[in-house]
Structures are given as structure tokens and as C-alpha cells.
Amino acid sequence: MRPARHRMTTRRPSLRNLPTSIRPARRRIRTDQDPAMKSTHFALAAALALVAGSIHAHEPSQHAAKPAAPAMDPAMQEAIAVVEQFGTALKAADMATVTRLLDERVLILESGGAERSRDEYLGHHAISDAAFLGGATITPKQRTAQVYGDTAWVGSESEIRAGQGKDTKTLLSTETMVLRRVSGAWKIVHIHWSSRPKKAGAP
């Protein structure tokens, strides 16, 4: 027979029975916040608020008023007005106004030809130009102008529809006029006209 084994049991010593000097220190949960940490959190929150405000300030407002278009130079307005008066007068066959707006030494270039004075133009193509434009519908498309002291140029693009029925034709026209201011009045010193048929289906 095997001798009976005696089972030994060990008990964990209770912390209460240990001397105070060797008891493990208890971790204390702090309910208050470290002043330095609290200051750090406050500074971080303030920085985030400042950044958010800056971003919001730079965002364009949906209700902000659009900037007004810059005012046109008065000299440019005067030069453009002369160009418009000339076109209206030529279409109406008002040769007195055409004569007043053209410089005596105006140079007019068109379709490879040239007329080198006001009298030469009035005695030749001015009459046929007035007859053609008088029965046409002119639709302005774009206009550009620049002024340099007493000199200005005006570039115009337009669509001209002339004729009737099967003879109707549409032209894309470009015009450049150079003007010079003499004694406070703008005179046309150069004209260049160019045109080509508009292709079917083109805008």
C-alpha cells in the first residue's frame, strides 16, 4: 500500500495582515486636473477656434456683392462713339457726317485695294458701301479699343446679313479704325475692312 499523501494548502497572505511598511502603494485616481495640462488644453482649444475663424473669414460669402466693372476711360468712350457715328452715317448715306468724321488724309484698305484720301473714298467706294449697308442687317459681336494719348484704335467684329430670298448671304466682318485727336476732336485716320462668307451651320 502506498502511504497516504497529505495535501498541503497554502493561503495567500491578506494585505491587511502585512505590515504597513511593506504594503503595496495604492494608485489614487485623481478627480482634479493638473493645472499645466489644463492650461495646455485651453491653449489648444483657443488655437483651433482662431484657425476656424480665419478659414471662415476667407470663405467668399454667397451674399457678397460682386465687384463693379471698372469705368471706361472717357477718351475711349469718345473714340468708340465716333466709330459708331461713322457706321450709322454710312449706312444711312449721310455723307456730310461721314466727311466730318474722316481725316483729309485717311488711308482706307479693303480687299487688297487702297484709297489714300477722304476725297478719293467719297468719290468712289463710299457710295457703293452706303448702298450695300443700307439694305443689310448688322449684328455687332465684339469690340475692343485702346487709347494712347491722342491716338486710339477700335477693333470691331460683326455679322452682316444682306440680300433677300435665295440671294441672301451672311458675312463675318472685321473692322479696324485708327483715330487721332486734333483740337479736342477725334478724326478717323485709317480704316481696314475685311470680310468672308459665314459657313453654313457656324455659330
For residue 130, being part of any structural domain is answered with yes
123 occurs within a structural domain? yes
8 Å CB contact between 155 and 174? yes
Task: Decide if 103 is inside a domain.
Answer: yes
d(CA 12, CA 41): 45
The residue behind cell 462713339 is: 81
Helix axes 74-91, 125-134, angle to 10 degrees: 90
Q: How many domains does the chain contain in total?
A: 1
Quick check: 179 pLDDT over 90?
A: yes
Number of Cβ atoms within 10 Å of the Cβ of 166: 6
State yes or no: pLDDT of 113 exceeds 90. Answer: yes
Q: 3-class DSSP state for residue 190?
A: strand
Q: Domain for residue 174, yes or no?
A: yes
Q: Which helix (H) or strand (E) holds 43?
A: helix 35-58
27 versus 86: the higher-pLDDT residue is 86
Is it the case that residue 95 has pLDDT exceeding 80?
Answer: yes
Q: Is residue 19 part of a domain?
A: no
pLDDT band of residue 202 (cuts 50, 70, 90) is confident
* CATH classification at residue 154: 3.10.450.50
* Domain housing 104: 74-197
Q: Quick check: is 101 in a domain?
A: yes
The mean pLDDT of the chain is 80
Average pLDDT of 129-156? 97
